């Protein structure tokens, strides 16, 4: 506890004097919780932490010098300076990451626990959180999932009375958080004085043992008090001075010294040892060099994908449809790799929203094919945690529109963990998203939102237009060690094609030339590829040779193929269903223009969905979406008027 206290005091000094930049959230005053819980953890047990997580890190066994170097932004730090005070992970000691999003680590912890359960490791997971996080949807959704699946996770709630500056009475409508947690079937609960080390150890040990035995999750609520403000800029004006004085009189170090009957000589020896360690850590951190460009731009490259044949009941070359091909690909990967599992809503009798997963639950059982509650953000976050602990989850959303509920899990966590933690964690997560219109589904079930994710470094986005590419891209997505958004065009589910070989893979970042043509090139993906092929046939009747390129990969684009084709034709038209404002077309045009400007005979253009919500009326839907006629008209203009 003294080690944590002195570390925090010195960090406060360094940040306050400008020796270390950025922000920090100090743990001082809450030491008994991290130490009391860690006393019952095995070295290989796992923890997830919060923005106020330095105590959790040090109690789990981290070195002060490497931690302080990380907070100072130095390359010698645990995450090479890329994580900093709020985002540090040391998987080698079981610390799976602190998290700057309030409540963001809770579903990740549930996913880590799911992986321990699936893999039979015997490990337990501790998820630290503050009282502010208990007001988030992630709190309730994660507790619900953990209770439903009896996951080996203990949620440790550090109740320090304030969510930043908001008192608990103003943000939580409960007497105790254990009252909420106890309502979840199979969830054990306990409360204790978080400033009493003996009390924390006495309550934590049986809950951790229970979780380790497979008897289910628990929530331990520990009341405590932070000695500093929320962050370095917080003077704590909202806290009552009498309350602060009363809590400081209950300092966990002072109380344990008395309870353990430590004499002055013992305390002095401990203080000397700690002071020496902290002094060496400060000297090391301040003297260490900062990272260079290789650090700043590292941990982003895609990983190689293993080539291996997967079991398949559909013969190579046999005609099938998109739905059957996707189902058989999922089945083959489930058979090929025990680490693959499928998560989503209504996967059983209903077979998923469009029937792709039909029959898989019956064949593989609820351990490998897990039907989830309607809690998209949390079960996606759970999949992030499961992936970072060695599983290869495939998450199915009923409609891609529902990805709006998953943005925290995807954008803040799946996309960033590998980079923030300097490659110490990987997130082999595949997310299947049915995209686009389907004749009357309306504004909240017909969107093409893929352009949002092109803006997020760390996410890969692919979209097939043929049966062969659907199989090859899905296999590649599941086998890659990074998060992939696999877009499934709804209008193409009944489309037919031939089943490729059992070892067929399509590389990420590889476009496909569908049709040659040197007068104009049509670039598209998904269900607009057939639209472009039809438009090209129409243009051929006018003597215009239109080429068609299926992008297949939207992030990253295949700029080598698209550049070479565009340089030959000198005219380019991007076609997609997503909004014409800020869409994939804008991103591709922006990427191609510097590479092709000297070869162009006409402006790069686009035909896209109108910048309007998709109407429910099928007749109105047709008016706002690209058509072969509209594409052909735009292409004629580029050829004839320039």
Cα separations in angstroms, 86 against 81, 100, 164, 412: 11, 5, 15, 13
- Point out the catalytic residue in the list 25, 56, 87, 445: 445
CA angle 357, 363, 367 (to 5 degrees): 85
Closest CA to 432 of 363, 481, 478, 367: 478
Question: By the 8 A CB rule, do 98 and 19 touch?
Answer: no
Which tokens sit at 340? 């693959």
Compute the Cα dihedral for 77, 79, 80, 81 and give only its sign: negative
Distance, in Å, from the CA atom of 68 to the CA atom of 81, rounded to the nearest integer, reads: 10
The DSSP output letter for 632 is H
* Catalytic residue flag (residue 376): yes
* Catalytic residue flag (residue 445): yes
Residue 500 — φ and ψ, nearest 5°? -80, 180
Cα separations in angstroms, 126 against 33, 151, 194, 437: 12, 11, 16, 43
Question: By the 8 A CB rule, do 468 and 497 touch?
Answer: yes
Which tokens sit at 402? 């529902």
Q: Dmax over Cα atoms in the chain, in whole Å?
A: 97
Distance, in Å, from the CA atom of 437 to the CA atom of 526, rounded to the nearest integer, reads: 12
Contacts of 511 (CB under 8 A, 6+ apart): 549, 550, 551, 552, 553, 557, 558, 561, 562
The DSSP output letter for 408 is I
Cα separations in angstroms, 318 against 367, 467, 468, 498: 32, 11, 11, 5
DSSP labels, 212-246: HTTS--EEEEEE---SS-SSTT---TTS-HHHHHH
Q: Is residue 457 classed as helix, strand or coil in its secondary structure? A: coil
- Which residue has 């998953």 as its token pair? 406
Contacts of 590 (CB under 8 A, 6+ apart): none
DSSP labels, 319-387: EEEHHHHHHHHHHHHHHH-TTEEEEESS-SSS-STTSTTTTHHHHH-TTTEEE--S-HHHHHHHHHHHH
Distance, in Å, from the CA atom of 510 to the CA atom of 21, rounded to the nearest integer, reads: 42
Q: What is the 3-state secondary structure (H, E, C) of 26-83?
A: CCCCCHHHHHHHHCCCCCCCEEECCCCCHHHHHHCCCCHHHHHHHHCCECCCCCCCCC
Parallel/antiparallel/unpaired status of strands 460-462 and 484-489: parallel
- Point out the catalytic residue in the list 10, 158, 376, 577: 376
Our separate counts of H helices and E strands in the chain read: 25, 21
| Residues acting as catalytic residues | 376, 445
């Amino acid at each position: 506890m003294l080690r944590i206290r002195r570390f925090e005091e010195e960090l406060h000094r360094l940040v306050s004097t400008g020796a270390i930049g950025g922000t920090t959230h100090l743990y001082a005053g809450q030491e008994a919780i991290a130490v009391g819980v860690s006393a019952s953890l095995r070295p290989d047990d796992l923890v997830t932490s919060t923005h106020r997580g330095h105590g959790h890190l040090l109690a789990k066994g981290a070195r002060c010098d490497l931690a302080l170097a990380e907070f100072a932004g130095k390359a010698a730090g645990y995450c090479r300076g890329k994580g900093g005070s709020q985002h540090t992970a040391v998987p080698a000691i079981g610390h799976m990451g602190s998290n700057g999003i309030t409540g963001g680590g809770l579903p990740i912890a549930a996913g880590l626990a799911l992986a321990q359960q699936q893999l039979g490791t015997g490990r337990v997971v501790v998820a630290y959180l503050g009282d502010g996080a208990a007001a988030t949807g992630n709190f309730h959704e994660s507790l619900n999932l953990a209770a439903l699946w009896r996951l080996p996770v203990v949620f440790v709630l550090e109740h320090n009375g304030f969510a930043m500056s908001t008192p608990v009475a103003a943000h939580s409508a409960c007497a105790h958080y254990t009252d909420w947690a106890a309502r979840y079937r199979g969830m054990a609960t306990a409360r204790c004085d978080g400033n009493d080390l003996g009390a924390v150890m006495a309550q934590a040990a049986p809950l951790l043992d229970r979780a380790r035995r497979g008897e289910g999750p628990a929530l331990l609520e520990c009341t405590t008090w932070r000695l500093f403000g929320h962050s370095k800029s917080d003077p704590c004006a909202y806290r009552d001075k009498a309350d602060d004085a009363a809590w400081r009189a209950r300092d966990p170090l002072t109380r344990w010294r008395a309870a353990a009957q430590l004499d002055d000589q013992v305390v002095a020896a401990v203080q000397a040892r700690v002071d020496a360690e902290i002094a060496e850590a400060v000297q090391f951190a301040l003297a260490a060099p900062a990272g260079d460009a290789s650090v700043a731009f590292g941990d982003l490259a895609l990983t190689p994908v293993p080539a291996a044949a997967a079991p398949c009941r559909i013969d190579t070359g046999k005609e099938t449809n998109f739905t059957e091909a996707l189902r058989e690909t999922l089945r083959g990967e489930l058979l090929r790799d025990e680490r693959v599992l499928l998560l989503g809503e209504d996967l059983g009798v209903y077979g998923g929203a469009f029937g792709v997963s039909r029959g898989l639950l019956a064949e593989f059982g609820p351990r490998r094919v897990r039907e989830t509650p309607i809690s998209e953000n949390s079960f996606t976050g759970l999949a992030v945690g499961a992936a970072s602990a060695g599983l290869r989850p495939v998450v199915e959303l009923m409609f891609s529109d529902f990805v709006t509920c998953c943005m925290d899990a995807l954008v803040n966590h799946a996309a960033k963990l590998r980079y923030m933690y300097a490659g110490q964690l990987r997130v082999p997560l595949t997310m299947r998203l049915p995209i686009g219109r389907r004749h009357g589904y309306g504004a909240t079930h017909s969107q093409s939102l893929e352009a949002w994710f092109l803006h997020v470094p760390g996410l890969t986005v692919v979209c097939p237009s043929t049966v062969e590419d659907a199989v090859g891209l899905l296999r590649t997505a599941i086998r890659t060690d990074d998060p992939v958004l696999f877009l499934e065009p709804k209008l193409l589910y009944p489309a037919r094609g031939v089943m490729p070989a059992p070892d067929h893979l399509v590389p990420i970042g590889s476009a496909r030339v569908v049709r040659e043509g040197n007068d104009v090139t049509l670039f598209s993906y998904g269900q607009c590829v057939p639209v472009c092929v039809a438009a090209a046939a129409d243009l051929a009747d006018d003597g215009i040779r239109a080429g068609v390129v299926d992008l297949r990969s939207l992030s990253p684009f295949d700029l080598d193929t698209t550049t070479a084709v565009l340089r030959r034709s000198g005219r380019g038209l991007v076609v997609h269903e997503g909004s014409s404002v800020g869409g994939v077309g804008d991103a591709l045009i922006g990427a191609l223009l510097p590479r092709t400007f000297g070869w162009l005979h006409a402006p790069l253009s686009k035909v896209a969905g109108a910048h309007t919500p998709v109407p429910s009326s099928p007749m109105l839907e047709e008016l706002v979406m690209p058509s072969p006629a509209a594409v052909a008209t735009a292409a004629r203009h580029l050829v004839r008027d320039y």
